[in-house]
Structure formats: structure tokens, C-alpha cells
Amino acid sequence: MKSPVHIRRGMTLVEMLVATTCTLILMGAIAQVFGAFGTAVSDSRSMIELDAQLRSVAWRLRNDLAGATARTLPPLEVEAGEGYFEVIEGPRGDADGGANASSVAPADIDDVLLFTTRNTETPYLGRYTSNPATLGTTQTTESQLAEVAWFLRPTDVSAGTSAPVATYTLFRRQNLVSGYVGFAPFYDAANRNFNTIPFTAWAIFFDNFDLSVQYQAANGVFLPNSLADLTRRENRFMHNSGGVIDAAAGSFRFPDGTINPTFQWQATPAPDGLIFDRTRNSARVGEDVVLTNVIGFDVRVFDPGAPVGVPAGGDSAVVPGDGGFAAATVAANGAYVDLGWNKGPYGVVATSGQRPRFANLAEPMSGLRNAAGPAIWDTWSTHYESNGFDDDQDGTIDEGSNGLDDDSDGKVDESPYDVDGDGLFNGAGDDPGELETLPPYRFPLRGIEVRLRCYEPSSRQVRQVTIRHSFVPR
């Protein structure tokens, strides 16, 4: 007799549970794959966007540098009307941010670049208020000339940040240069007085005007700057907030440490008028921001005598400020370096007979020499020798241009004046030893390099772009 045949009509509960578990595992694996793929795509997109932002910022900086109006041959004559160029090297360097230049930790973040620039193709635009008494209608003006400042400020943490390290915001401040503005309240001498805007409130002025101006406390007026005016340090952006016109040249500083060796412009809150920030509830918050999540803004100058070394067992060149330079063997000269780079035990490092130009601190007679603070290269101005002020505080005013041999040293007179009428320049008048001031660095600036380093929070990667500009005519 045959056994009955049992026909299965479905799955048992155990089989169903096993199948469901396998399906869930497969779906989880697929979800993880898609998640990883989505994250990779998102990270790639973020990096592409960051690269695009860096290219845009680099283009803008190159465009500004290409239009620089001033010769980088200090000192400049005010009468030439060339404007200025100024590099501020803060106390920090790449070595403070980590063992190498690619470290995520913020490194050189206290450098500043300020200069006047010209654009003949696309004029610079700025705003002004037609009625400063009531801070009324805002209008737009333009100029082919502008005073620009590039610098970092700490990230506004109140706005939220996803970066695991301290980050900074890159600002580009632009003030139009126009010696004659042509609209109220700048029509003439009678209409240049901002009595309704206290001079201590520079932030209020810059909220309503994108103009490069100087404040004269003695007269109580704001005056628009020309390029000739900006050759003088006391008329530049953030150099003379009190409107003093009879102080020593070295006292006219970007707020970089006249009281404290650390950069005061990085303090919180920001100095009045430096940026449009949240602390004043400005309607223009973030207007000058060009890049966020920045961890390095390193401005370097070309020094033909700076050493280029090769580390032991290595094949890549290193320069002062790079990791491993102190133990490297000097093989050549000529590199982009920080101002005042010789802070280590480098000694005499020239190998080609070309001595370093920017290795040491600034010239003391500039008033800008500060061992603990920033190093400054500046186009300077010859007007300090005839400004009617005793800049070197030696009891004699403008002895370098008064036609007299005040130091009685008998040196050959290098003044353009024949003060005694004998047709000779032989110690009867001024000589270089009587100068009251000197530029912080008397050497011409042949080129600069700006290394801009940025952190991308979502992918936690770092990108760097390098901008170089030569001032040597081709």
C-alpha cells in the first residue's frame, strides 16, 4: 500500500522568519551602500563647490593685485599720487598651526594685505547716503579706484559652525577713492562736516558710505581721499580713527598691537568700523565676506636672498617657515617668505652672495619695529621729512629737509638744494643722516605670494590655493 503524499501549501513560520531576516539584512546592506554612495557624492559636490569658491576668490585677489597703483619702491612722493601698498605679517606663522602646511589646525591667520587698486574696465561700486543727517535714501556711486583690505576675522560662532577646529572668515573691504565726490555732503568745504555722525562712530559712517575718507579732528570734518592722500599712512583705512594729524609716523597703524603685542583687530568685538558685524545689528552684516571656514591666509614676500634648503634624505625644497627647514642643508637662494622670517637659529644663510632683505625686524626709524608684534612692509611717504612735526623727537623739526647741516657731520650734501649758492653740495645742507624717518624695509618688493587654506566641514578635507604676483615689469 502506497504512503499518502503530503503537499505543502505554504511556508512555515520559521521559514518565514528566516526569509524576512535575510530580506532585512539585504535591504540594510543595500541602504548602507546607497548611503555611502550618497555621502561620497555629497562630499565630492562639497569639494567641487569649495574649489569653485577658492578659484573665485583667487581671481578677485589677482584682479586687485593686477590693478595695484603704487610702485613697490619705497619711499614714494605724495606729489606722485600713486596711493600705497602695505603688507602686515602677524606674529603667527604656519609652524604655529601644526607640523606641516597641510595641518587642519589654523596656522598663519593674522596677516593683512592693504593697497590701492585701479580697474579701468569695470568700475568699483559703492553706496552712499544722500542725507547723512537722517541717514536717508541709499544710492550707488562708482569709481575706477578703490582702497582694498584683505584680512581674516574669527568665525562668528553665534551664527553656528560645524567645523571641529577654530575657523576664520576672509573679508575683503572696499572703499572707493575719489578726491572729488560730487554729491552731498561732499560738494565743497562748507558741506563736508558730519556733525550728525560722531567721529568715534566710524561704523555708522561705513554703514552708509563706501568711501575712503580721512577724519580731521582739528577741523571736525571728513574729507574724501585721493591717491596722493593715501600715500600718507594717517589717511588710510583703520590707521587713524582719532583723526590725529601731528603724530609720529609709526603711530599710524592698522589696529595691530599698539598696546598689546597680539593683533587687536582679532579681538571680540571687532574695532569700530572694521567689519559689519552682529554686535551692532548692522543691516550690512556679512557684506564684505568672501570666504568662510578659512584656516590660513599667509602673505609672503619674495626675498632674493632667502635660503632654500633640502632636508636630509629628502628631495623637496623647504624655505623658512616650512617644517624641517632648521635641519635642512641650504642649496640655493630666493624664495617667498614671511617678513621677519629669521626668528630661528639660521645665522648667515646666503650662499650666492645675495644677503636676505626681509629676514630681520623693521627699521627702528620707521616706528614700526616690534619684536613681539607684526612686521610691516610699506611704500612709505617722503612727506614725513617736511610735515612740520618732529617725528624722531630729537628737538628739531624736519631737519632732513630744512637746508641746514643740523648734525654738523661734514658729510657730502645729498640734498637737491645748493643752500650756500656756491654751486656745490658739500656738507653745507641736508644729508641722509638727518632724515627723521625711514621705511620699515628700504628694499623694493619684487613679488608676493598668498597661500589661502580652507577647511570643508562635511568631508573634513583641506584645500589650498596659492596666488603669486610679480611687481617686476616684464
- DSSP assignment of 188-202 equals SGGG---TTS-TT-H
In the predicted structure, residue 76 carries a pLDDT above the cut 90: yes
How far, in Å, CA of 283 to CA of 202, rounded?
15
- Give the cell for residue 232: 600718507
pLDDT at 264 over 60: yes
Name the residue with higher pLDDT: 233 or 165. 233
Amino acid at 134: T
Task: Output 17 or 259, whichever has higher pLDDT.
Answer: 17
Half-sphere exposure of 276 (CA within 13 A, CB side): 18
pLDDT tens sequence across 84-129: 999 999 888 766 654 344 456 667 888 999 999 999 899 999 988 7
Q: Which residues contact 191 (CB under 8 A, 6 or more apart)?
A: 184, 185
Q: What is the mean pLDDT of the chain?
A: 79
Task: Give the SS3 label for residue 41.
Answer: helix
Say if pTM beats, i.e. exceeds, 0.85: no
> What is the SS3 assignment for 367?
coil
User: Which pLDDT tens digit goes with each residue over 411-428?
Assistant: 444 444 444 444 444 444
- pLDDT over threshold 80, residue 314: no
